[in-house]
Homo-oligomer: A and B are copies of this chain.
Amino acid sequence: MSFFPIRQVKARVTGNHQVAEATFRLVLSAKEFPAAAQPGQFIMLRTSTTEDPLLRRAFSLHDRKDDHLGILYKVVGRGTDWMARRRPGDVIDLIGPLGRGFSSAPPLRKALLVAGGMGIAPFRLLVRSLQSEGVEILLFYGARTAGDLLELEEMEAASVSLLLATEDGSRGEKGRVTELFREHFRKVEPSASFKIFACGPQAMLYEVARIALGQEIACDVSLESQMACGLGTCMGCVIATGSGYQRVCREGPVFSAQSLLLDESAVKHE
């Protein structure tokens, strides 16, 4: 486990555009933000200048280019609503990069990415990193409806093969992305040079992890949890693993499928 320098940065908004229903892409100029940030790491964002809301909010690093960093976010409550009302020039306080990202040690030939809903957020950086290593990429991506499928052009432009599913059938297969993913292994022989990377709702991730374990393919899942500090100090964000409760913000947010306790009782009900 390697730790990168953590910085508290006052970043300046350079863009904040709506990309889908209630979904925005925030671009921040943050010179002092460490360049060494890894795909799958996250930042803690102060989503007010008052005490309401009080705690920071966690967001995956969505993009990192020159002095800029990007966040892909959905408005679900007060913090994200505040974010959606930021304009270019406004300042946002953030801390990062935090946690442990995806690990893609060679020999990796083929990456199977599985995203559910906003789980697509960290994959832009991951795809970029995998491609620089010449890895072939398949993306299984599910959402409620066609309009919630994000980043499709970007992924196509990066010659990622797309396999889509929507719950209402408005695009791709009708159903859940985990079904699509499970289906895949009826046709494809797993190999030791494959690796799965998944991000999305916890129930989906645990399902993917179980499939991965069944197929004996290495698998990283990126979890979410209620966080207070994001720094590993409050012990609030833990998840059940084989070696006890571990911090999503420090030992995670990316965990290997093997390390997690996957039985139903460990799964957060949502």
Contacts and interface: CB of A to CB of B under 8 A. Distances in A.
Contacts of A78: 50
A92 to B, nearest CB: 16
9 contacts: A48-B50, A48-B52, A50-B50, A50-B52, A50-B53, A50-B78, A51-B51, A51-B52, A52-B52
A50 B54 CA distance: 11
Mostly helix, strand, loop or mixed at chain A's interface?
Answer: loop
Nearest to A48: B50
Interface of A: 48, 50-53, 78
Contacts of A52: 48, 50-52
Contacts of A51: 51-52
A51 B51 CA distance: 8
A193 B51 CA distance: 53
A56 B51 CA distance: 16
A85 to B, nearest CB: 10
Contacts of A50: 48, 50, 52-53, 78
A203 B51 CA distance: 34
A51 B48 CA distance: 12
Nearest to A53: B50
